[in-house]
Amino acid sequence: PLGLAAGMDKDARALGAWWALGFGFAEVGTLTPRAQEGNPRPRLFRLVEDHALINRMGFNNQGAERAARRLKSFRERGLSFPLGVNLGKNRDTPLERAAEDYERALQVLEPYGDYFVLNVSSPNTPGLRTLQEGPFLDELLARLRPATRKPLLLKVAPDLTFEALDQAVELCLKHGLEGLVAVNTTLERPNLKSPLAKEAGGLSGRPLKERALEVLRHLSGVEGLTLVSVGGVEGPEDVWERLKLGARLVQVYTGFVYGGPLFPRRVLKGLLKLMEAEGVRSLKELWVPIR
């Protein structure tokens, strides 16, 4: 149930490594239809005192077509390793044409991903979060749902109010999306100790944990959507808590940065012990049927 969150392998360069390290799946991207450099450096900051990161990468990537070639090559190796593809718009594409970018990237990458995530919640592309609002999101989902029969998910910001989150859920259900990835990085700065705390960008890691859990609890009663929880995952207890709260899958990024290459296997071993302690033989026992 433990996967690598989007942002680590933006261009699908290290797919075999994530499999070898013990991840159950990986999500590549964010990928845009055209290559772009992203924001000026420095753009990634390690807040050691807070066990956190701040990034303002800005969707730096080599473009959908180059990633598609790498994904195709990986598929030809025959490894059974589920791959998600996180999609975004180019920085210079106006909001009113954003759906075209998502659609174009999806068309190029569709043969090679097992599921696709619409990233409308990164704080590092100007105006992007506007796409989470009703009219924009309604149009985006209406256009993209027919473009693939594979699972399509929406990635939401932790900074949304519950009212706005509920509206996004309604639109996902209306258009037949399969799930939600909750949550992206936050613009909030909750009681940080690091001198880098004032850097602009999205905050991830331990300070995001509380809000990620609040959002998951709020969404846990939703019928018809698979929940993927991400934000502040640091160990097996975090994964176990989220699975019991209703997440089908859990993703990690910052916890992996701090935990090192053995992190996935260490977490999975710990998860097995927690399951045994509570008499759970299979994670399917936790699953609420998705009606």
Query: Omega before 33 cis (within 30°)?
Result: no
pLDDT in tens, 155-214: 999 999 999 999 999 999 999 999 999 999 999 999 999 999 999 999 999 999 999 999
**β-strand partners of 46:** 53
Confidence band (pLDDT; 50, 70, 90) for 135? confident
- Angle between helical axes of 134-144 and 98-109 (0-180°, round to 10): 30
Distance CA 189, CA 192 (A): 6
User: Which value, to the nearest 10 degrees, does the dihedral of the CA atoms of residues 154, 164, 121, 119 take?
Assistant: 20
pLDDT at res. 126:
84
Residue 26 near residue 84, CB atoms below 8 Å: yes
Predicted confidence (pLDDT) per residue in 47-98, tens digit: 999 999 999 999 999 999 999 999 999 999 999 999 999 999 999 999 999 9
Catalytic residue positions?
122
Assigned architecture for domain 2-286: Alpha-Beta Barrel (3.20)
The separation between the first and the last C-alpha atoms of the chain, rounded to the nearest angstrom, is 21
